[in-house]
Amino acid sequence: MQKQLLESLFNPKGPFEGNELQNISCIQDGSKNKAWKLDLSDGRKFFAKTGDKHMLQAESKSLKKLSSWADHSLIIVPKPYLVQEISGTSLLLTPWLDLTGGDQILLGRGLALIHKKSAEQSPGNFGWDSDGYIGLGPQPGGWIKDWGECFVQLRLIPQMKIATKWGLEIRDFESLLIDLVDFLNQHSPSPSLVHGDLWSGNASVLLDGRGALIDPASWWADREVDIAMSKLFGGFSKSFYEGYEEIWPLKPKAHERVEIYNLYHLLNHANIFGGSYQKQSISSLERIKRQVSYEKDKKELA
């Protein structure tokens, strides 16, 4: 069935008519998404993924946005050819990228330029114009001018509401959520277009040394959310951060916001996968609560 779906793109009435599909290689056979490498008779290669229509549409939108801000001499974001529903199945088609584990300095520079260039022409508000997804979890849309309010209202609270199903008590952290708004506003970030799901599986290096970004969950945010997530699961080299700092250095106290921004992803993982992520989320909330309370007391005594 899946092979027939892919072959239908290259029939006489399909969007790539005139090219023969010579080879189909399955590279991912998950329960939610399946993915293939497609080789055409004219030498071109494509990446194809099937899955939920709305998720693929959200991913396609993010890819297009990131690609439009990318300096392609430094970093590649594969611009989607199509999202198409065929025989009840939805498919996303993008160019194939030949990836390697090379030096990440251009990846860092390229990401910094996306952040910097987009911030210079940002919409002026934080958020996104439609609902999307963070992995398999929901990522609500909406626009809020105040950064702290945006992160708390559109990112933390929706995840925390889901987390009540496994035992998280929001009332235990109500004062923290109020204080976080002010704490996050103190460094006055500008809205940047961010990847939004920047773990090592979604970033790599091409054979020619340029960086590559895939599977984004983009929105307009404090650029530090991308750098924070890059540290959550590891996999990014020293040269990645050096390359980033060459283009747009982070503020001196950026490290103080890393755990706060990564709480969003911990909660999302806890809500999807359960297990140890739930305990990690509670522990992180408690640490952040102490951190923000300390900073608040220090500010009041100053």
As annotated, the active-site residues are 197
DSSP structural state of residue 153 = I
Length of the chain: 302
Which candidate, 218, 67, 56, places its Cα nearest to that of 139? 218
Q: Residue 138 forms beta bridges with which residues?
A: 133
Separation CA 245–CA 292 (nearest Å)? 27
Separation CA 296–CA 300 (nearest Å)? 6
Helix (H/G/I), strand (E/B), else coil: 205? strand
List of E strands, 141-228: 142-144, 192-194, 203-206, 211-213, 219-221
CB atoms within 10 A of CB 150: 23
